[in-house]
Amino acid sequence: MIVAAGGGGDAVAAAMLDTALYGTQHPAVVLTYAWDRLLVDPVPGPRTPADFTALGRMAPRVPVITADTEPVPPAGSTLPRLARELPQTFALTDPQHGVQGITVQLTELVEQLRPESIDLLDVGGDILAHGDEPTLRSPLADALTLAARHRLNTPVRLLVAGPGLDGELPAETLHPLLGPAVAAFTPEHTAAVDSVLEWHPSEATAMLAATARGIRGLCEARDAGLPIPLTDESPTVHEVDMDAAFTRNILAHAITATTTLTAAEALSREICGFSEIDYERDKATRLPTTPLKPLDPESTLTRVAAYEHKARARGATHTTFRHLTETLSLPGTQRDTLKSLLLTHHPEQYTPPLWHIPPTTKRR
């Protein structure tokens, strides 16, 4: 059993981890949030079971995403498509009852499955944050999961994949906190999710897969264009001391007894100075409400070239399609259209699943 600490990207990485550590004969059960951010889901915050149709049931409090599951409009989610395309079973983390509710879910799953192993996976390593770091962007989801695990009376191994790839804590900050490497992702492991990464918007997992394929450089990501180094350390997976992680995470400590997401969010505002759901709420108010105009190919390519010129000067060698979409001020629904346009005109710059920024403007 693998518990994805954060949003949808951790669920994709869990499928890679399942292949790398356990093979393909007995696919894992992955417990994960439906929390895809506004690029996919125009509704702020994580989705609950009420936001889906045709859910299965693995335990009384543990719904399962099936091949027939669909989000209830206007909500959106990548999980139903993951369930259709990947062999793992995706159970839904429901944070509406706070840490205590997630603890009940974990307890029921352990009693039902009696798994041989339980891994808690975080891509990037922000689960190791104190909570007051200025670069921290999304501490709440990880803190909820970490606190629930702390209440669970069952051994769980904490794993951090791709140190620093989420752009929240620098790799140099994380290195002293990491234990031994338990795996290093290779192209063989990413093959399990190659087709998923063609459409899934997760940036950290995209960079994780790219580095597993040997891509190195400096990648600009997120709406702010954070520069994230792609290094030989990037595709590794490290074990971390679970108790030490919980001790470090001030927010996880504070929310341990919460019975609602609202209460946990209030403590995030108090301790971290913000709530990531507030950020999504604010950003959602700026989403376009008028019908989208089709992309103009010529002007769009010109704007991309202008971005690349500036990014090149900053030392960037790659970027994500999410960042390109945001930096051009396009709505998330046009991400796939933008990607298709770029691959049609400059396929040589596609280094799956990232977009390569060449050192010069010369193109074949």
Instruction: Summarize pLDDT for 15-68 with one digit per residue, the tens.
Output: 999 999 999 999 999 999 999 988 789 999 999 999 999 999 999 999 999 999
What is the pLDDT at residue 304? 98
Q: How far is residue 259 CA from its own chain's centroid? A: 24
Sheet order of strands, 354-356 included: 226-230, 217-221, 318-319, 354-356, 350-351
Token pair belonging to 12: 């994709």
Using the 8-state DSSP alphabet, how is residue 90 labeled?
E
114-131 burial string, b = 16+ CB within 10 Å, else e?
Answer: eeeebbbbbbbbbbbbeb
What is the pLDDT at residue 362? 54
Helix axes 261-272, 276-284, angle to 10 degrees: 100
250 by Cβ neighbours in 10 Å (0-12 / 13-18 / 19+) ranks as middle
3 state DSSP class of 264: helix
- pLDDT tens for 140-184 read 999 999 999 999 999 999 999 999 999 999 999 999 999 999 999
168-192 burial string, b = 16+ CB within 10 Å, else e?
Answer: bbebebbeebbeeebbbbeeebbeb
| Residues of the chain predicted below pLDDT 70 | 361-364
Token pair belonging to 284: 């959602």
What is the pLDDT at residue 364? 45
What is the pLDDT at residue 361? 65
What is the pLDDT at residue 286? 84
| Predicted TM-score of the model (pTM) | 0.96
Tokens 């933008």 belong to 338
Task: Please answer whether residues 52 and 72 qualify as being in contact, where contact means their C-beta atoms are separated by less than 8 angstroms.
Answer: yes
CA distance 316 to 357: 7
48-69 burial string, b = 16+ CB within 10 Å, else e?
Answer: beebbeebbebbebbbbbbeeb
What is the pLDDT at residue 314? 97
CA-to-CA separations, 330 to 161, 202, 223, 327, 333, in angstroms, rounded? 30, 17, 11, 8, 8
